[in-house]
């Protein structure tokens, strides 16, 4: 008998749910918007989609939740989220009580890494990391075949490793974090700095002459459309992405790395190509290890629900 | 019955051996110099001390070797060492053949981490890293209670993570590696740079007026003796040490960190104090995790033989 579980992806703008079988295929799915200003509404929405999935897949044996938040996996509690109102939310207890299935909760980057490791680009490798390059940088590490959580459930946060001491300010309050120099936000910042220096006239014109209106997404789109200035900006940020990837290789010695997230998906090889080159140049002992492939994520927006469903399989007792 | 094993520490200048009981106590020990220009002499010396330890502790059931080298643990092969002549040395097969006990081989930083985790400063913590600050920076990670080796046995090399892109040249050929800015060698370099800038007259005089003769060790000694310039240099390097330690915390979420090695032992709190302060300032989510203690290594020069003996316990079947 194949194990079916429910995966729920709680993001800043939407809550997605799916019933997922043991192959990672979606049997049913549902989606509702996230009410960011009301914790009770968010819980009610999660309960609602859980019931929908339970009705669509009566064989489902457990629920996994991946949330864009700081999560205590042990207790199933959402501690804090940057864009949402909830705080110290005992989601596991609430959901178990209201839906009647065992529940596991983890952060979105960890469940995305699980999804890519089991059913996606990293399938088959015991040691790997999935790095999610969006507005910021998230990550999840799968080491020795298991999601790595660390001593306090806070492992796998390379987005805030310092790669440029006294560098650009990060949203975390420090300077020079990897996500401050290698994320979608960094693409926007680097472009704006160079435009202020007099370059990138086309990009400035496209932003209506307002430097502050130049976003990382607009730069990525212009790069894809062939704009040379934008391509150079994306390549510069790609090199910093590659330096951080090399740090992961030097520390973790993974068999492969998976890179996903909106900024990576939106720029593709324009970002990943320079990242791979810079990574290769900064790996120690390169002559004694096989090349470490840097693979684009394979599951796209479904990584959240699929990974959350994998998380739930541990509770269901089999994969 | 308590398990006794033999631990051998193969360094650039000496080969130390000990018979070690299950408590980590040394029952017998021996030491010979390393003949750096002759692989056969090194092997003969390792065989000699192994026989000595086997004679001193007939109950010894296995041999562990920690080598200052790039080691393939799986095959028990020393691939390469910076200061010694050996290359592709199948030490496990050779030793097993000549001494008649099962043999395990790993690199010196990994076995030192094992020693500190099991019998030293990190005793009792499932997630920890031991960072060895000497001329360079070595490290070993103990994650989920086990030595972490990675996909190709090359895990745990944070010494070459890039923390200052385009920074000072490292011996590995890259620029801005952690060990280029936070090791004993960095203490010497920073002091020489500042002396060339006109500071540190006392240190320059002590070096006979020759800037190039100012070593990291001399700076450390002057700092311990109270020299304000030297203390400032050590503190600067300590801050870079702390930034790298913060990176380890952000990635691995350890319960604690252990710092050993000659440069750390020689400067003590003058290096570790600023490192702790800088580390604390660069940890993400600090309000959600307990403080991460940075502890001085407890086993000193014995970490190598004790850790190698622990490595051998796996082969002996019990601890």
Give the pLDDT confidence of A108-158 residue by residue, as tens digits.
999 999 999 999 999 999 999 999 999 999 999 999 999 999 998 888 889
Q: Describe the strand order of the beta sheet including B77-80 as a list of residue ranges.
A: B70-72, B77-80, B87-89
Which neighbouring-strand residues pair with A312?
A: none
Tell me the shortest Cα–Cα distance from B80 to chain A, in angstroms.
9
- Assess contact for A79 and B285: CB atoms under 8 A: no
The pLDDT value recorded for residue B203 is 96
Taking a contact as any Cβ pair under 8 Å apart, which residues of chain B between 59 and 88 contact chain A? 70, 79-80
pLDDT, tens digit, for every residue of A199-219? Answer: 999 999 999 999 999 999 999
A9 SS3 class: strand
| Average pLDDT score over chain A | 93
Tell me the shortest Cα–Cα distance from B254 to chain A, in angstroms.
5
Taking a contact as any Cβ pair under 8 Å apart, which residues of chain A between 1 and 60 contact chain B? none
Q: What is the ipTM of this complex?
A: 0.92
How big is chain B, counted in residues?
Answer: 319
pLDDT above 70 covers a percentage of chain A that reads 97
List of long-range contacts for A190-199, beta carbons under 8 Å, 24+ apart: A190/A233, A190/A236, A190/A237, A191/A216, A191/A219, A191/A229, A191/A230, A191/A233, A194/A229, A194/A233, A199/A229
- The stretch A304-314 carries a mean pLDDT of 96
Q: Looking at chain A, which residues constitute the CATH 3.30.420.40 domain(s)?
A: 5-115+301-316, 124-297
pLDDT, tens digit, for every residue of A50-82? Answer: 999 999 999 999 999 999 888 889 999 998 876
pLDDT value at A289 more than 60: yes
**Nearest CB partner across the interface for A143, out of B148, B158, B162:** B148
- Partner A contacted by B152 (CB < 8 A): yes
Are A151 and B246 an interchain contact pair (Cβ–Cβ within 8 Å)? no
> Chain B: residue nearest A161 by CA?
B247
pLDDT value at A194 more than 70: yes
Are B284 and A157 an interchain contact pair (Cβ–Cβ within 8 Å)? yes
Partners of B74 on chain A (C-beta within 8 Å) are none
Radius of gyration of the CA atoms of chain A, in A: 20
- The stretch B95-113 carries a mean pLDDT of 96
The pLDDT value recorded for residue B319 is 41
| Angle between helical axes of B269-281 and B216-224 (0-180°, round to 10) | 100
- The stretch B195-206 carries a mean pLDDT of 96
Q: Comparing C-alpha atoms, which of A266, A260, A267, A270 is closest to residue A298?
A: A260
Q: Comparing C-alpha atoms, which of A105, A102, A100 is closest to residue A78?
A: A105
Q: Which pair of structure tokens corresponds to residue A113?
A: 């890494």
pLDDT, tens digit, for every residue of A1-32? Answer: 579 999 999 988 899 999 999 999 999 999 99
Tell me the shortest Cα–Cα distance from A148 to chain B, in angstroms.
8
The pLDDT value recorded for residue B80 is 80
- Binned at pLDDT 50, 70 and 90, residue A317 comes out as low
Are A253 and B285 an interchain contact pair (Cβ–Cβ within 8 Å)? no
The pLDDT value recorded for residue A319 is 41
Please report which residue ranges of chain A form alpha helices under DSSP H: 39-56, 91-99, 108-119, 178-182, 184-196, 201-206, 216-224, 228-252, 262-267, 269-281, 303-316
Choose the mutation target among B128, B142, B150, B180 for the interface with A, i.e. most A CBs under 10 Å.
Answer: B150
**Nearest CB partner across the interface for A160, out of B143, B163, B250:** B250
Q: Comparing C-alpha atoms, which of A184, A190, A218, A216 is closest to residue A202?
A: A218
pLDDT above 70 covers a percentage of chain B that reads 97
- Partner A contacted by B280 (CB < 8 A): no
- Assess contact for A92 and A104: CB atoms under 8 A: yes
Distance CA A216, CA B156 (A): 34
pLDDT value at A258 more than 80: yes
Topology annotation, domain A5-115+301-316: Nucleotidyltransferase; domain 5 (3.30.420)
**Nearest CB partner across the interface for B253, out of A154, A251, A288:** A154
The pLDDT value recorded for residue B272 is 98
- Partner B contacted by A259 (CB < 8 A): no
Query: Where is average pLDDT lowest: B29-43, B125-139, B151-165?
Result: B29-43
Tell me the shortest Cα–Cα distance from A87 to chain B, in angstroms.
12
pLDDT value at B274 more than 60: yes
- Partner B contacted by A288 (CB < 8 A): yes
The pLDDT value recorded for residue B260 is 96
Q: Residue for token digits 């015991």?
A: A126
- The stretch A90-116 carries a mean pLDDT of 96
Domain B124-297: CATH class, spelled out: alpha beta
Q: What is the DSSP letter of B147?
A: E
Q: Which pair of structure tokens corresponds to residue B108?
A: 């010196």
- Binned at pLDDT 50, 70 and 90, residue A83 comes out as low
The pLDDT value recorded for residue B177 is 96
Query: Where is average pLDDT lowest: A7-16, B112-121, B244-253, B285-294?
Result: B285-294
pLDDT value at B32 more than 60: yes
| Angle between helical axes of A228-252 and A184-196 (0-180°, round to 10) | 140
The pLDDT value recorded for residue A37 is 73
pLDDT, tens digit, for every residue of B176-187? Answer: 999 999 999 999
pLDDT value at A35 more than 80: no
The answer, as to whether pTM is greater than 0.90, is yes
Q: Comparing C-alpha atoms, which of B9, B252, B244, B6 is closest to residue B107?
A: B9
| Average pLDDT score over chain B | 93
Are B251 and A161 an interchain contact pair (Cβ–Cβ within 8 Å)? yes
């Amino acid at each position: 008998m194949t194990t079916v579980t429910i995966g729920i992806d709680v993001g800043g703008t939407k809550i997605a749910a799916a019933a997922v079988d043991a192959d990672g295929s979606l049997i049913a799915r549902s989606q509702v918007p996230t009410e960011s200003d009301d914790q009770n509404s968010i819980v009610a929405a999660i309960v609602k989609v859980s019931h929908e999935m339970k009705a669509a897949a009566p064989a489902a044996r457990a629920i996994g939740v991946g949330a864009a938040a700081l999560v205590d996996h042990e207790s199933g509690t959402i501690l804090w989220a940057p864009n949402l109102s909830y705080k110290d939310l005992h989601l596991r207890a609430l959901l178990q009580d209201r839906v009647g299935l065992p529940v596991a909760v983890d952060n979105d980057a960890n469940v995305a890494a699980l999804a890519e490791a089991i059913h996606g680009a990293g399938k088959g490798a015991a040691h790997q990391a999935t790095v999610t390059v969006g507005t910021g940088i998230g990550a999840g590490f799968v080491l020795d075949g298991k999601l790595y959580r660390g001593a306090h459930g806070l492992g796998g946060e390379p987005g805030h490793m310092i790669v440029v001491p006294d560098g650009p300010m990060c949203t975390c309050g420090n300077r020079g974090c990897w996500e401050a120099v290698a994320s979608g936000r960094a693409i926007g910042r680097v472009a704006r700095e160079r435009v202020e220096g007099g370059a990138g006239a086309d990009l400035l014109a496209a932003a209506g002459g307002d430097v502050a209106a130049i976003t990382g997404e607009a730069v990525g789109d212009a790069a894809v459309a062939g704009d040379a200035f934008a391509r150079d900006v994306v390549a510069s940020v790609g090199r910093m992405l590659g330096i951080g990837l090399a740090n992961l290789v030097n520390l973790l010695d993974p068999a492969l790395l998976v890179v996903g997230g909106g900024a990576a998906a939106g720029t593709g090889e324009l970002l990943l190509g320079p990242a791979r080159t810079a990574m290769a140049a900064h790996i120690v002992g390169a002559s004694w290890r096989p090349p470490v492939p840097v693979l684009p994520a394979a599951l796209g927006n479904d990584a959240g629900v699929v990974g959350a469903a994998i998380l739930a399989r541990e509770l269901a007792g089999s994969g």
